[in-house]
Amino acid sequence: MIETQKAGRLFGVGLGPGDPELVTLKALRLVRQAQVIAYPSAKHGQSNARSIVSHELVHGQIELPMLYPITTELTDHPGGYEGAISDFYDAMAKEIAIHLDQGRDVAILCEGDPFFYGSYMYLHDRLAHRFVTEVIPGVPSIMAAAARFGTPLVRRNSELVVLPATLSEDELASRLNTSSSFAIIKLGRNFAKVERALVRAGLADRALFIERATMPNERILKLSEVDPLNVAYFSLILIPDLSGCVKDIAAEDLGRITVVGLGPGAAGWITPEAQQALDDATDVVGYKTYLDRVPVKPGQRRYGSDNKVEAERARHALSLAESGRRVCVVSSGDPGIFAMASAVLESVEQGPEEWRSLDIHVVPGLSAMQAAASRVGAPLGHDFCVLSLSDRLKPWEVIVKRLHAAASADFALALYNPISSERTWQLSEAQSILAQYRAPETPVVLARSVGRSDEKIVFTDLGRLDPSLVDMQTLVLVGSSTTRQFTLANGRQLIYTPRSYGV
């Protein structure tokens, strides 16, 4: 009877960041026992992985250098870089499989951890379904770097985000915020791009650069000291989370106020920049209805108030920022359109001198009129005018004057705050004024709670407009003389104002 030869075992061995003393005992044992030692290597023949355990290799072991076809150079492979690397791993998997089929145990050496951006994982994908496989974890370079810097990465409820430097500058900048801890790896030729993204995100001053952490040629530099043309691939940047440390709660570090637009209602309409500001805030201030749209974050303070106390709300937020907090003031829609940005800036101008030293930002949001217009087509496709019918902060006589002016100039109109429980007659009066300049069949749209579960869109015209269908949650769109309405084959009505005007 002929015995079938037993296949060898495959080991993915994590060796840690470079210091031989950081290799685990289990990894050392398997390195000594394996009949075949495979390791990544550059074309010049040097292998960082092999050098970590070179003194542990045993006489008679078969060494299998895995020579990368390309590193930083270009390739003429028809599939580009991805094609060349894929072919390389296919070829190496076949070569390793020969040894495994012949009963030899193969240890593939991997710097750091095999499953944390490790090259081993691509061979694992190709071989683990055929052979008995075991992965031995190693100390990731990120944790080694934190230890070398002597700084904690995360505290309590904060998050650690790992970003590859190969992302685009815009993608990096959009993901970076000041409320998380970050590790940016795979720097090399990407350093200049990463540095620009850090500057855009306001994190350059917190960034810590380290090259070849724990290795004999380790370098720790300030970001400004790094030569972008001389950055090793085995470099990374850490941005530790400073929340909770004594320095981080100092007023000179945190005196910031950001006025944020949440959009009209749908969660998907909140911009990444607005979400970043909310994530970064220690305190969130706003009208309670709008504040309820912001998810609760552990440790973040929330201050809700009534809709008619904008000035008090602004002053409260500024006082919090003055005490060293990162404050977000939230508005529905866009904060610069009948919302809190003006209230905050007015309070800064009229308030104590200290408020002028605060770091003040306004983050735009999708406006209610834009959202409403998108639901019905493009009624604001040409020149248009935006008016609030509320006379709480300006005389009704001024509103009347502006209605006449806008109507006579043939603007399409977006009317905010058309009716409230205390103002029941203004919309009818506005309708009468507009009727002096517009035909009765002028398209009108009543858009209520756009983007929320109770959204309702009503098509009507100026002559048949029924103010009883309108409340404070409704935005009224009124067309110009050129605004048109038509119906699609499926019955859907659309309204638009042509871009050309009488030409």
- For residue 503, pLDDT beyond 60: no
Give the separation between CA 488 and CA 142, rounded to whole angstroms. Answer: 57
pLDDT at 74: 54
pLDDT(1) > 50: no
Query: Average pLDDT, stretch 122-148?
Result: 95
| Residue of higher predicted confidence among 330 and 253 | 330
CATH architecture of 369-496: 2-Layer Sandwich (3.30)
Q: What is the pTM of this model?
A: 0.53
Summarize pLDDT for 236-246 with one digit per residue, the tens: 999 987 655 43
Under the banding of pLDDT at 50, 70 and 90, the label for residue 61 is: very high
Instruction: Please check the confidence at residue 370 and state whether its pLDDT lies above 70.
Output: yes
Identify the band that residue 305 occupies on the pLDDT scale cut at 50, 70 and 90.
confident
The pLDDT assigned to 334 comes to: 92
Q: What is the mean pLDDT of the chain?
A: 88
Q: Is the pLDDT of residue 110 over 90?
A: yes
pLDDT for the residue 52: 93
For residues 70 and 72, give the distance between their C-alpha atoms in angstroms, rounded to a whole number.
Answer: 6
Give the pLDDT confidence of 313-356 residue by residue, as tens digits: 899 999 989 888 889 999 999 999 988 999 999 999 998 888 98
pLDDT of residue 252: 43
291, pLDDT greater than 50: yes
Pairwise pLDDT comparison (71 vs 270), residue with the higher score: 270
Tell me the sheet residues that pair with 327: 257, 283
User: Distance between CA 16 and CA 14 in Å, rounded?
Assistant: 6
pLDDT tens across 378-428, in order? 999 999 999 999 888 889 999 999 999 999 999 999 999 888 877 788 899
pLDDT for the residue 325 = 87
- Whether residue 92 has pLDDT greater than 90: yes
Residue 265: predicted pLDDT: 82
Q: How far is the C-alpha of 492 from the C-alpha of 312, rounded, in Å?
A: 45
Fold match flag (142-239 vs 369-496): yes
In this structure, which long-range contacts are made by residues 224-227, counting pairs with CB atoms below 8 Å and at least 24 apart in sequence?
Answer: 226/191, 226/195
**What pLDDT is recorded for position 420?**
80
Residue 248: what pLDDT?
42
**Which fold would CATH assign to domain 250-366?**
Cobalt-precorrin-4 Transmethylase; domain 1 (3.40.1010)
The reported pLDDT for the residue numbered 471 is 87
Q: How confident is the model at residue 72 (pLDDT cuts 50, 70, 90)?
A: low
CATH number of 142-239: 3.30.950.10
pLDDT in tens, 454-471: 889 999 999 999 998 988
The encoded tokens of residue 13 equal 């061995």
Which own/partner contact pairs does 305-314 have at CB distance under 8 Å and 24+ positions apart?
308/392, 310/340, 310/343, 311/343, 311/346, 311/347, 313/285, 313/286, 313/287, 313/340, 313/343, 314/340, 314/343, 314/344, 314/346, 314/347
| Token output for 253 | 């570090």
> Tell me: the pLDDT tens digits for 162-220?
999 999 999 998 888 766 789 999 998 999 999 999 988 888 888 999 999 998 888 88
Q: What proportions of the chain, in percent to the nearest 5, are helix, strand and coil?
A: 35, 25, 40
Strand 235-239 to strand 181-185: parallel, antiparallel, or no bridges (unpaired)? antiparallel
Domain ranges of the chain: 10-139, 142-239, 250-366, 369-496
Query: Could you tell me which of 338, 274, 346 has the C-alpha nearest to residue 312?
Result: 346
| Alpha carbon separation from 149 to 46, 222, 228 (Å, rounded) | 28, 12, 21
**pLDDT at 81 exceeding the cut of 90:** no
What confidence score (pLDDT) does residue 45 get? 66
Q: 144-171: per-residue pLDDT in tens?
A: 999 998 888 887 777 889 999 999 999 9
- Residue 285 has a pLDDT of 92
Q: How far apart are CA 491 and CA 481, in angstroms?
A: 24
Using CA atoms, how far apart are residues 330 and 328, in angstroms rounded to an integer? 6
Residue 251, pLDDT score? 37
pLDDT at 241: 75
Provide the CATH number for the domain formed by 10-139 in this structure. Answer: 3.40.1010.10
User: Given this model, what pLDDT does residue 434 score?
Assistant: 93
Nearest to 278 by CA among 332, 322, 326: 326
Report the pLDDT value the prediction gives residue 179, as an integer from 0 to 100: 63
Q: Number of helices and strands (H, E) in the chain?
A: 15, 23
Percent of the chain topping pLDDT 90: 56
Question: What's the pLDDT score for residue 143?
Answer: 94
What is the predicted pLDDT for the residue at 472?
Answer: 84
In this prediction, residue 405 carries a pLDDT of 95
Specify the higher pLDDT residue, 313 or 254.
313
